[in-house]
Amino acid sequence: MKRRIHITITGKVQSVSFRSEARLQARSAYLKGWVKNNPSGTVEITAEGEEEDIKEFLRWCARGPLNSIVEKVDHEWQPYVGEFLQFQAV
């Protein structure tokens, strides 16, 4: 079943290639959406795709790339919209 998720990641998640790695992970899982850095120091993600693929991506977000330190991952499941053509860093 297709789903949508909104994720906010807190910790040392900027200047550690989190966005570019998240884009690679999402694309390899056939997810579509976006990832961006927020002025607050968090990383924000909206992703759509198959629920199991999103769950795997969410597990990756809890680890992050090599130099990151993920302290907290907040997420909210949302209804699938189908508005994205690809996954991109914005």
pLDDT score, position 49: 98
The structural domains of the chain, ordered by start, are 2-89 (3.30.70.100)
Buried b (16+ CB within 10 A) or exposed e, 5-27: bebbbbbebbebbbbebbbebbe
- Which of the residues 4, 37, 63, 67 is marked catalytic? 37
Q: What is the pLDDT of residues 18-56, one digit of tens each?
A: 999 999 999 999 999 999 999 999 999 999 999 999 999
Q: What is the pLDDT of residues 50-83, one digit of tens each?
A: 999 999 999 999 999 999 999 999 999 999 999 9
Number of CB atoms found within 10 A of residue 30's CB: 10
- Which of the residues 4, 19, 38, 59 is marked catalytic? 19
63 catalytic residue (yes or no): no
19 catalytic residue (yes or no): yes
**CA–CA separation, 13 vs 32, rounded Å?**
21
pLDDT score, position 66: 93
* Contact of 16 with 22, CB cutoff 8 Å: no
Portion of the chain with pLDDT greater than 70, in percent:
100
